Amino acid sequence: MLYKRSSALFKQAEAVIPGGVNSPVRAFKAVGGTPIFAKSAKGAYIYDEDGNKYIDYINSWGPMILGHAYEPVVDAVIEKAKQGTSFGMPTEIETHIAELAVSMVPNIDKIRFVNSGTEACMSAVRLARGFTKKDKMIKFAGCYHGHSDAFLIQAGSGAITFGSPNSPGVTQGTAKDTLLARYNDIDHVKALIEANSNEIACVILEPVAGNMGCIPPKDNFLRALRDLCDNNNILLIFDEVMTGFRLAKGGCQELYGVNADIVCFGKVIGGGLPVGAFAARNEIMNHLAPLGSVYQAGTLSGNPLAMAAGLAMLKAINAQKDLFDRLSKKTKYLHKGCTEALNDLGVKHTINRVGSMISIHFAEEAVVDFESSARGNNDTFKHFFHGMLNEGIYIAPSAFETWFITDALSYKDLDETIAAVRKVAETL
């Protein structure tokens, strides 16, 4: 494929935007080459500025669960925009989407809308600290909760230690209250809690990880976390920015039968517009201003365009009783086809799948946490990525990102994708 215009646009962007992109993973730094500039998208397909067509497996990093330019969402945004784009005042539609979300998700009474997943997660942690009157939190290596300072922490020198910043601009003072655990390792979490008795406000995690590739929780891991939190007066926060309204109507709480104390949302809940949200039971949410003393605010939070898009999306999801079954079957079909193609050609790999999230890890062993994910062959992935791109298949330009399946994908699209995997695998 030719990328002449994309290359020119990237060069132009580099002069006025750091790295030429407004989010680092778009820069293709992890895979090499020049990023593709999107021009339009419809259904399962995305079209670039050079006129190339791709079967899309990032779907704006998750929200396009029903396909690009989904007509009910587009129509809702257009009609709402005609009435004004933002008021800085309450609007009726905010209550409508809040009522629908609360009715779909277990164990929440109130929800507050913000503008991004980062805002949702940072606000959830602040709320947990205000509610428990404790300062420390546990997060898991490889789980990404946005770019708030407290989340940009890597492991320290010992197995049970304070974190240290892994981004300039994050202070040691911030890092000292963040404890880093190994995903899927409940014994490590126990050790951290014991070493920091009565100091931990919350445990935050992606219940199904998507930022080290797709990694599901081990059997009973989420239940064991729930029990640990209950026994130590710690709040459990599920970051469902990716998984919320994607793996089930009620997200991972419904899927795994484990309740969180606070749940964070993004992606699907905004229908493709910039939206985040966090939700909990009344006893927790009532600590937020203006009811309580935990402050959180946002000028554009709950803006009418985002609320219109999100409400149309949630209504569509809520009305389709077999949606998640369809998505799961399509993802399983893709999994089976990719496995057969890679096995036939002797390519060492592991595939993880949960619902409509799937990842190919070029690793020989099971991928259950960040360390095992990081041991995958990144050189193989780079070759695979560019090979798939040349075959008209757009996957995330990073080995540490999940693929997202959209209902707009046909089985013909899946067969074309499997055929591309087989063709590219011949060159690996």
pLDDT digits (tens, 9 = 90+) for 60-102: 999 999 999 999 999 999 999 999 999 999 999 999 999 999 9
For 325, 339, 409, the CA distances from 406, given in Å and listed in that order, are 12, 20, 6
Exposed / middle / buried, residue 397 (Cβ in 10 Å: 0-12, 13-18, 19+) = buried
Mean pLDDT of the chain: 94
Q: What was the pLDDT predicted at 155?
A: 37
Read off the tokens for 275.
């939206």
The catalytic position among 57, 144, 183, 394 is 144
Q: What was the pLDDT predicted at 156?
A: 33
* Assigned fold of 71-319: Aspartate Aminotransferase; domain 2 (3.40.640)
Q: Give CA angle at 395 (394, 401), nearest 5°.
A: 160
Residue 360, φ and ψ in degrees, nearest 5: -100, 115
Beta strands 53-56 and 45-48, pairing class: antiparallel
The pLDDT-based confidence of 160 (bands split at 50, 70, 90) is: very low
**Whether 144 is catalytic:** yes
**Does residue 253 have a pLDDT over 70?**
yes
**Does residue 157 have a pLDDT over 80?**
no
* CATH, domain 4-69+322-425, list 3.90.1150.10, 3.40.50.1360, 3.30.830.10, 3.30.420.40: 3.90.1150.10
The pLDDT-based confidence of 16 (bands split at 50, 70, 90) is: very high
Residue type, 77: V
Q: Minimum mean pLDDT among 10-19, 38-47, 160-169, 335-344: which range?
A: 160-169
Q: What was the pLDDT predicted at 87?
A: 96
Mean of pLDDT values over 241-247: 98
The catalytic position among 134, 136, 249, 267 is 267
Would residue 245 be called left, alpha or beta, if left means φ above 0 and alpha means ψ between -120 and 50 degrees? left
Q: Is the Cβ–Cβ distance between 278 and 112 less than 8 Å?
A: yes
The pLDDT-based confidence of 232 (bands split at 50, 70, 90) is: very high
Mean of pLDDT values over 353-361: 98
What percent of the chain is modeled with pLDDT above 70? 97
Beta strands 164-165 and 153-154, pairing class: antiparallel
The pLDDT-based confidence of 158 (bands split at 50, 70, 90) is: very low
Q: Structural domain boundaries of the chain?
A: 4-69+322-425, 71-319
Q: What was the pLDDT predicted at 164?
A: 54
What percent of the chain is modeled with pLDDT above 90? 89
Query: Whole-model pTM?
Result: 0.95
Mean of pLDDT values over 47-51: 97
**Whether 330 is catalytic:** no
What is the spatial distance between Cα 369 and Cα 202, in angstroms, rounded to a whole number?
A: 20
Hey, which residues does 110 pair with through a beta bridge? 280
The pLDDT-based confidence of 30 (bands split at 50, 70, 90) is: confident
Mean of pLDDT values over 381-393: 97
**Does residue 21 have a pLDDT over 60?**
yes
Mean of pLDDT values over 129-149: 93
Collapsing DSSP to helix, strand or coil, 217 comes out as coil
Q: What was the pLDDT predicted at 175?
A: 79
What pLDDT, in 10s, does the model give residues 161-205? Answer: 344 566 788 777 777 899 999 999 999 999 999 999 999 999 999
The catalytic position among 48, 56, 177, 239 is 239
Half-sphere exposure (Cβ direction) of 226: Cα atoms closer than 13 Å:
14
Mean of pLDDT values over 343-362: 97
Task: Compute the Cα dihedral for 390, 393, 396, 401 and give only its sign.
Answer: negative
Q: Identify the residue with better confidence: 193 or 156.
A: 193
**Does residue 274 have a pLDDT over 80?**
yes
What is the spatial distance between Cα 50 and Cα 27, in angstroms, rounded to a whole number?
A: 17
CB atoms within 10 A of CB 184: 20
**Whether 239 is catalytic:** yes
